[in-house]
Structure 1
Amino acid sequence: MQEPAVIPFGMPEKDGYILIWARKDKVNDLVNEPIDKDIKLMPWACKVAGCSAPTLKKKLFRYRDVLDMDNGGCVRYSTGSGSPWKFSAPEFRDFVSKHKKEFMKSEEL
């Protein structure tokens, strides 16, 4: 029998928090996995764009006025240390395919 990754601790939800037992090797997966499956993080975006994170960030800042979620775009920009970049998967894939010439350039901006 396979062990579950998470076991509810048996206490009711209080103020939006729950207690769980989680396997030590699965904790990072649980913390880093977005609740919405269409929302992805920086490593995924790097694979889609085909470049490293520093290069991708430079390219994303170039298109910030279009891509920022606050302006109706598909990227939630990091607000500082510990704040992850988030990407709306279908919209970001479309953006990269429309601007593939820019994203295929190997040199940094």
Structure 2
Amino acid sequence: MQEPETLPFGIPEKDGYVLAWVRKDKLKDLISKPADEGIELLPWACKIASCSAPTLVKKLERYRDVLDMDKGGCVRYSTGSGSPWKFSAPEFRKFVLEHKKEFAKSEEI
């Protein structure tokens, strides 16, 4: 039996694409698969918190023990260049509302 043909398939990331080899017969399933629902990136979080990215990152570091997804929170912290910040939208929005006093401060920290 002949092995199915594989085709290159780009999976979008924050700053470009990652090339993955996918079996031709599985490509249609991969394309039709829905993206993670409720996961947002840093620009979205800046709008929710009404502050710039550098300011938001500094504020998020204060709450790392509570917000880190590895510890049950709603923020996937960036691990370096090319690793995007990710936010569970409903949970992060709720957190900002609960800590609106901190997020409403307009000064850069």
Query: Does TM-score exceed 0.5, indicating one fold?
Result: yes
| Corresponding position of 2:26 | none
Question: Going by fraction, where is strand more abundant, 1 or 2?
Answer: 2
Contact 1:58/1:108 (CA < 8 Å) preserved in 2?
no
After TM superposition, give the deviation of residue 108 of structure 1 in Å: 2.1
Deviating runs (4+, > 6 A) in structure 1? none
Structure 2 unaligned regions, length at least 5? 15-33
Matched, 1:19 2:19: no
Aligned partner of residue 87 in structure 2, secondary structure: strand
Distance (whole Å) between structure 2 residues aligned to residue 90 and residue 50 of structure 1: 16
Report the Cα distance in structure 1 between the residues aligned to 2:40 and 2:5, rounded to whole angstroms.
27
AA at the equivalent of 2:84:
P
Q: TM-score if structure 2 supplies the norm length? A: 0.71
Name the counterpart of 2:108.
Answer: 108
Structure 2 counterpart of 1:93, one-letter code: R
2:19 aligns with: none
TM-score normalised per structure 1: 0.71
Q: Percent identity?
A: 72
Q: Which runs of 5+ in 1 are unaligned?
A: 1-11, 21-26
In structure 2, what is the equivalent of residue 40 of structure 1?
40
State the alpha-carbon separation in 1 of the partners of residues 77 and 88 from structure 2: 12
Alpha-carbon offset, residue 35 of structure 1? 2.1
2:94 maps to 94
User: Aligned residue pairs: how many?
Assistant: 87
Cα-Cα RMSD = 2.4
